[in-house]
């Protein structure tokens, strides 16, 4: 081994080790330090010496460890910052809770002082209410028990013609026992008789709000709306009634009337036909159905119904007139004149002569047979009294007849 050679200084770096540039100072030899000569080539028997010379101790990587230390330091600072923030938030909430607690305690103290002052009055009021409740219930029971007698007395007064007294009696009873449906319905009936429809409608609506299944109140409300010519509303109530009672005569009649007055005659026919099928001897429904057919131009169906009406009541002058008009609309002068002749024999020429001037007979006015009937009436003369002054013999009220002779 060479005496001047440093065995701890490695001259040849490992293959994959990163080479570092040495400083200029390290490249210059120091004064007094011997410069190593060329390394002799080891012989075949000097392998131990070669391994010692090529060995260099592995030094720690200074840059890697410094970066890891900086990262650890940053994580530590971040952790402490989070902990300090949590502690600060907790401290703020704690301070707020303390302040609120003090305010609540002061409010409770003030309320307790006020409560102590009025506690005696409150206890006295509670005792008074507890005592008064039984007496109020007893009064209500007594008023409820008087409802049947009140209804009987009101009906008796109404039968005697004292309608205002009956209304006053029912109104006083409702002041003591409000929202009693029987009293409200009875009062509504009297109001309808006096045509005070607005007040009656309000009472009936109150009854239905408390008991929507009251069929009497439903029907009365539909009639009130029909009298007020509020046909959309009356139709809605009539349909409501027909949902549970499709064969109701009154509901079908109200629905038909609503359709007729809103120019929907085709829809009215179904309700009128149902009434005629249920009550075959109902002249009102037959006459209205026949008049509806006439307005719709279905004169054959109308003639059949008018003929049935005359078979049941030959003294109905308006049915004769309507039947003659149907024949005239069909341009059947013979049947029209025959019907007018029958009416003349029953009600007199003067009564029937005013019909001949109606425009309903314009289709047959120039027919020879109609001119003959008219000329015979003119040649015979008669009283000049208008037909309105001659009381026709009829069993059908005018309200049931849609079309009337002039």
Tokens 């007199």 belong to 348
Q: State residue 24's pLDDT score.
A: 45
Residues 6+ apart with CB under 8 A from 154: 166, 167, 169, 170, 186, 190
**Does residue 124 belong to any structural domain of this protein?**
no
CATH number at residue 400: 1.25.40
Q: Angle at CA 202, nearest 5°, toward 200 and 208?
A: 105
Spatial distance between the Cα atoms of 323 and 383, rounded to a whole number of angstroms: 25
**Does residue 98 belong to any structural domain of this protein?**
no
Average pLDDT, the chain: 77
Spatial distance between the Cα atoms of 286 and 401, rounded to a whole number of angstroms: 10
Q: How large is the average pLDDT for residues 267-286?
A: 93
**Does residue 404 belong to any structural domain of this protein?**
yes
Q: Which of 256, 216, 220, 263 is nearest to 239 (CA)?
A: 256
Largest CA distance in the chain: 180
Summarised one tens digit per residue, pLDDT across range 21-72 is 544 444 444 444 454 555 555 555 444 444 444 545 554 555 555 677 677 7
**Does residue 314 belong to any structural domain of this protein?**
yes
Summarised one tens digit per residue, pLDDT across range 236-261 is 999 999 999 999 999 999 999 999 99
**Does residue 322 belong to any structural domain of this protein?**
yes
Please check the confidence at residue 366 and state whether its pLDDT lies above 80.
yes
Residues 6+ apart with CB under 8 A from 47: none
Q: Who wins on pLDDT, 348 or 387?
A: 348
Q: How many CB atoms lie within 10 A of CB 315?
A: 14
**Is residue 128 helix, strand or coil?**
helix
**Is residue 383 helix, strand or coil?**
coil
Q: Who wins on pLDDT, 176 or 391?
A: 176
**Does residue 374 belong to any structural domain of this protein?**
yes
**Does residue 19 belong to any structural domain of this protein?**
no
Query: How is residue 275 written in tokens?
Result: 């009434």
Q: Which helix (H) or strand (E) holds 8?
A: none
**Does residue 310 belong to any structural domain of this protein?**
yes
Spatial distance between the Cα atoms of 225 and 342, rounded to a whole number of angstroms: 41
Residue ranges making up the domain that contains 299: 286-406
Give Cα separations from 64 to 57, 58, 60, 61 (angstroms).
Answer: 18, 15, 9, 6
Give Cα separations from 69 to 62, 80, 276 (angstroms).
Answer: 11, 17, 108
Q: At what angle do helices 249-261 and 283-296 cross, to 10 degrees?
A: 30
Length of the chain counted residue by residue? 406
Q: For 97-101, which contacts have Cβ atoms below 8 Å and span 24 or more sequence positions?
A: none
Spatial distance between the Cα atoms of 213 and 241, rounded to a whole number of angstroms: 10
Rg (CA), the chain: 58
For CA atoms 78, 81, 83, 86, give the dihedral sign.
Answer: negative
Chain CA centroid to CA 285, Å: 35
Q: State residue 390's pLDDT score.
A: 31
Give the confidence band of 380 by pLDDT, cuts at 50, 70, 90.
low
Prediction pTM value: 0.59
Query: How is residue 207 written in tokens?
Result: 């009854």
What total number of domains does the chain contain? 1
Please check the confidence at residue 405 and state whether its pLDDT lies above 50.
yes
Q: How many CA atoms lie within 13 A of 406 on its CB side?
A: 11
Residues 6+ apart with CB under 8 A from 50: 42
Q: Which of 241, 243, 252, 248 is nearest to 217 (CA)?
A: 241
């Amino acid at each position: 081994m060479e005496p001047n050679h440093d065995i701890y200084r490695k001259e040849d770096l490992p293959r994959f080790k990163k080479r570092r540039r040495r400083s200029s100072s390290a490249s210059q030899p120091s004064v007094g330090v011997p410069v190593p000569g060329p390394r002799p080539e080891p012989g075949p028997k000097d392998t131990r010496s070669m391994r010692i010379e090529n060995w260099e101790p592995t030094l720690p990587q200074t840059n890697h460890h410094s970066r890891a230390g900086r990262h650890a330091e940053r994580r530590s600072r971040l952790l402490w910052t989070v902990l300090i923030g949590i502690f600060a938030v907790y401290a703020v909430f704690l301070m707020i809770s303390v302040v609120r607690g003090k305010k609540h305690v002061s409010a409770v103290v003030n309320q307790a002082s006020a409560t102590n002052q009025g506690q005696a009055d409150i206890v006295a009021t509670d005792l008074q209410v507890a005592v008064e409740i039984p007496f109020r219930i007893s009064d209500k029971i007594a008023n409820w028990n008087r409802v049947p007698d009140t209804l009987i007395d009101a009906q008796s007064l109404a039968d005697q013609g004292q309608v205002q007294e009956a209304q006053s009696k029912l109104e006083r009873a409702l002041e003591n026992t409000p929202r009693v449906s029987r009293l409200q319905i009875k009062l509504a009936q009297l109001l309808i008789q006096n045509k005070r429809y607005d007040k009656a409608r309000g009472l009936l609506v109150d009854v239905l709000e408390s008991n929507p299944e009251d069929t009497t109140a439903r029907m009365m409300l539909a009639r009130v709306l029909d009298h007020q010519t509020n046909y959309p509303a009356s139709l809605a109530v009539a349909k409501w009634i027909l949902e549970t009672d499709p064969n109701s005569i009154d509901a079908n009649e109200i629905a038909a009337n609503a359709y007729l007055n809103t120019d929907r005659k085709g829809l009215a026919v179904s309700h009128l036909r149902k009434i005629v099928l249920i009550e075959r001897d109902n002249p009102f429904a037959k006459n209205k159905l026949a008049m509806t057919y006439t307005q719709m131009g279905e004169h054959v169906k109308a003639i059949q119904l008018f003929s049935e009406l005359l078979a049941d009541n030959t003294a109905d002058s308006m049915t004769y007139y309507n039947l003659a008009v149907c024949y005239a609309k069909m341009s059947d002068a013979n049947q029209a004149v025959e019907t007018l002749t029958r009416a003349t024999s029953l009600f007199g020429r003067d009564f029937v002569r005013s019909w001949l001037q109606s425009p309903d007979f314009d289709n047959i006015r120039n027919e020879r047979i109609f001119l003959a009937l008219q000329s015979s009436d003119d040649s015979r003369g008669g009283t000049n009294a208008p037909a309105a002054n001659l009381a026709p013999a009829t069993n059908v009220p005018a309200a049931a007849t849609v079309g009337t002779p002039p």
